[in-house]
Amino acid sequence: MALPREPRQKMINMMYLVLTALLALNISAEILNAFKTVNRSLETTNVTVNASTQTIMKSLEEKTKEDATKERASYWLPKAQQVVNLSGSVYNYIQDLKARIVKDAGGDIKDPSKKFKEDNQDITTHLMVEKGEGKKLYAMLAQYKKDVLEVDPEIKSKFEGNLQIDLEKPPTSNKGNNTWEAAYFRMVPTVAALTILSKFQNDIRTTENKIVAECHNKVGEVKVVFDSYAAIVGQNSNYLMPGEEVEIKAGIGAFSKAAKPVITIGGTTVPLGEEGFASHKIPGGGIGNHVVPVKISYFNQITGKQEEVTRNIEYKVGQANASIALDEMNVLYVGYPNKVSIAASGGGDDRVTATITGGDGSLQKVGPGKYVATVKSVTDDCKITVSVDGKVAGVSQFRVRTIPQPVGTVGAYVSGASVPAGAFKAQAGVGAYIKDFPLNLKYTVVSFVITADDPSTGDIVEERCTGNFWSPGAQRLVKNLSAGRTVTIDDLKAQGPDGRVQSLPSLVYYIK
């Protein structure tokens, strides 16, 4: 699935050519800003194309595991990987050139907020022309073009005349710019040089994507990993005290880590963390209402288009009277010891009192500024009120929700699974947990009934167990299991942290 050549890419290329021509006329702030705009667009496109390539490679690897495509995929996967390796080497070399230019100009490429000499024309001239890095770049691009075409005769036949890599010397009116590197880099401002280098990186990524996609096409269609997207934006609080920070997290919900969105929070580009979210802390600001714009740009593998979502994070900074925060979640849960942190100005901790209304709740102090809230009923109007010396200093409203129902499990096998007989015999009993729930809650199985059919006699064998382990009779039943039998676990009951005993859905397993 090659990246389509969209109007956006054509526009970027046209802007690049126009701006290069403008350099010959004058170097104004407007022209420099225009180059920065094009550079950002190129860098965003490079990330997008790379994400597409990763998706194709992942799909090609999966094809090596399928009987119908294993032989062809095993032939084309190494060739695609060779192109990826060649591309990465040249791309990283160009990235190093950009870092050296920014450093020589007084900046840091890893810190976009650090200013550097954007209009300096000597730095690029010295590095790329006088020190010979431009000549080296030309040689690497030429060798790269030659190497990727020689990956396979079929690749060479298809792409020899239409690769993105253009090694022609650009036209110039300056007779002194008689070499490729001089035509591109002699007396060019640093910001323009960065844009030119980003353009070459874009050529590399586009070439890589086209050839990798062709390798996959020789095997079959790309298996699209994603089937839905959703922008996710959140903050740690929507009510702050002066001097506090607001932490904003943003990302996209998808079924693969191949989608690497470009996320901007409050005008600052924020990298993704290991969990797939961009997390950014900013000062809360002065008292009053505040809005922080969040922009998420990503490549939709389904539509084949670059998409962008913008969300505004709204929060309020209140008077420095009282701060009430839930330590673990942003809602209170019925039957769970919800941890609450409370701080108030105008008095020491011994002069602070806190009460709770709504949700049939109670509040217990467990340490300086630390409380445990227990609620019994669902509501959207549960309030915690903080007072100092009997005077109300702050009130916060919270929602109350029930904890989701847990599900039973035998070892790591969920209901409906086909389990090898040996693996099922290795289990000691039944457990219970809540799927995809952030709180670490412990559930204890109280009792259950295990039943298995006997194909030889048609009889149904049933054993009742107390606790979460097999009873002696259940152990004998499990020990005699063989392929083709069905095991059900009914009347499953578990006790949660609130002391309540719940009936859980039945489980069924197919022994193989």
Residues 392 and 462 in one domain: no
Same domain, 275 and 337: no
Pair (394, 335) in one structural domain: yes
Task: Write down which residue in 386, 401, 416 finishes a domain.
Answer: 401
Residue 225 lies in a domain: no
Separation between Cα atoms, residue 174 and residue 154, nearest integer Å? 41
Nearest to 503 by CA among 405, 414, 413: 405
Give the pLDDT mean for 118-130: 89
Residues 86 and 122 in one domain: yes
Count of structural domains, the chain: 4
Q: Is residue 224 part of a domain?
A: no
Q: What is the DSSP string of 430-478?
A: -EEE-TT-SS----EEEEEEEEEE-TTT--EEEEEEESSBPPHHHHHHH
In a domain, 105, yes or no: yes
Q: Are 234 and 105 in contact (CB under 8 A)?
A: no
Residues 373 and 286 occupy one common structural domain: no
Strand partners, 444: 495
Tell me the pLDDT band of 151, cut-offs 50, 70 and 90: very high
- 133 and 148 assigned to the same domain: yes
Question: 435: domain CATH number?
Answer: 2.60.40
Domain end among 401, 424, 454: 401
Residue 37 lies in a domain: yes
**Residue 62 sits in the same domain as residue 152:** yes
| The two structure tokens encoding residue 128 | 């790329």
Res 396 pLDDT > 60 = yes
**CB count in 10 Å sphere of residue 268:** 12
For 362, list phi and psi in degrees, rounded to 5.
-140, 155
Average pLDDT value for residue range 458-472:
89
User: 421 and 390: one domain?
Assistant: no
Instruction: Tally the residues of the chain.
Output: 512
pLDDT digits (tens, 9 = 90+) for 214-247: 999 888 754 444 444 556 666 655 555 455 566 6
Looking at every residue in the chain, the average pLDDT score rounds to 82
pLDDT band at 25 (very low <50, low <70, confident <90, very high): very low
Interval 277-314: pLDDT, tens: 777 887 877 767 888 888 888 766 555 567 888 888 77
Side-chain half-sphere exposure of 347, counting CA atoms within 13 A = 17
- Express the helix, strand and coil content of the chain in percent, nearest 5 each: 35, 30, 35
Q: Which of 401, 426, 445 marks a domain boundary?
A: 401
Q: What angle do CA 234, 236, 240 make, to 5 degrees?
A: 125
Could you tell me which residues come within 8 angstroms of residue 307 by beta carbon, excluding any fewer than 6 positions away? 229, 297, 298, 299, 300
- The answer on 191 and 311 residing in a single domain is no
Shared-domain flag, residues 254 and 284: yes
Q: 223 in a domain, yes or no?
A: no
Quick one: 387 and 436 in the same domain? Answer: no
Residue 452 lies in domain: 407-511
Strand 278-283 versus strand 322-326 pairing type: unpaired
Compute CA 103 distance to the chain's CA centroid, rounded to the nearest angstrom: 30
Question: 132's torsion region: left (phi>0), alpha (psi -120 to 50) or beta?
Answer: left
388 in any annotated domain: yes
Q: Is 209 part of a structural domain of the chain?
A: yes
CATH code for position 388: 2.60.40.10
* AA identity, residue 177: N
CB 209 within 8 A of CB 52: yes
Residue 177's contacts (CB-CB under 8 Å, 6 or more residues apart) are: 183, 186
- Examine the domain organization and report whether 338 and 290 are in the same domain: no
Q: Is residue 69 part of a domain?
A: yes
